[in-house]
Amino acid sequence: MGITEDLVHWTHEQKCRKAVESLERNGFTARYCATPQTAAEYITAGAADSVSIGFGGSMTIASLGVEQLLREQGKEILNHSNPSLSRDEKLEVMRRQLTCDLFLCGSNAVTLSGELVNIDGIGNRVASMLFGPRKVIVVAGRNKLVDGSIQDAITRIKNWATPPNARRLTYNTPCASTGFCSNCNSPERICRVTTVIDRKPRLTDLHVLVVNADLGL
């Protein structure tokens, strides 16, 4: 790294560590990960006692490359994003994710005050984050951090996550065409369920990994 890159990386690290401190104050098990590889190692270690592992359709988790490794370890993989699944099979996988041993997902935004903010189209991902799985590991890259309010986090999601995700999933929504949220009423709208986890749910073993790298959207 050059001096500029070093300073930018250092600045991101301070923000990541502040988010981790705030998450810990809010009851989460939170870890700072200097690299995506560190996050992947945490996940594989945390999956040691798990038989069934659910994947919440996260580009962040996919980028870590843990699915194949866990599959090779004989884990039962519950990933509804598998293109070979029929609609009914996908729904069944989503339902089974609600009671899996370990659920892996990303977060659309994490505030520096330690809140997880997410927007779903169906609600299966956020439902599994809240209650059901024996353990939940949420991974958030530094690009998901928001130095501001919950409303700022929602704005971040609707400006930077929803339009490209709608386009990636080939949904027929205005934002997939324009790149801007118009608070549409499209039948394929993916902004339908907004959740804020401001403290760790009492009965959920919820871990949050904050990674000093840009991951996902």
What pLDDT score does 15 carry?
98
* pLDDT band at 16; cut points 50, 70, 90: very high
Identify the CATH number of the domain in which residue 86 sits. Answer: 3.40.50.10420
Tally of domains within the chain: 1
Q: Is residue 48 part of a domain?
A: yes
Beta strands at 116-120 and 135-141: parallel, antiparallel or unpaired: unpaired
Tell me whether residue 217 is in a domain.
Answer: no
Chain segment 33-85, per-residue pLDDT in tens: 999 999 999 999 999 999 999 999 999 999 999 999 999 999 999 999 999 99
Per DSSP (E only), the strands in the chain are 29-33, 52-55, 76-79, 102-106, 109-111, 116-120, 135-141, 145-146, 193-197, 206-211
CA-to-CA distance for 62 and 141, rounded, in angstroms?
A: 13
**Is 124 domain-assigned?**
yes
pLDDT of residue 197: 98
Is residue 1's pLDDT more than 80? Answer: no
The answer on pLDDT for 9 being more than 80 is yes
Given a cut of 80, is residue 10 above it in pLDDT?
yes
Burial track 80-104 (b if 16+ CB lie within 10 A, e otherwise): beeeeeeeeebeebbeebbebbbbb
Tell me, yes or no, if the pTM score tops 0.75.
yes
- Residues near 83 by beta carbon (within 8 Å), at least 6 away in sequence: none
Domain containing 39: what range?
3-211
**pLDDT value for 2:** 87
Report the chain's mean pLDDT, rounded to a whole number: 97
In a domain, 39, yes or no: yes
The two three-digit tokens of residue 115, written as one number: 């809140």
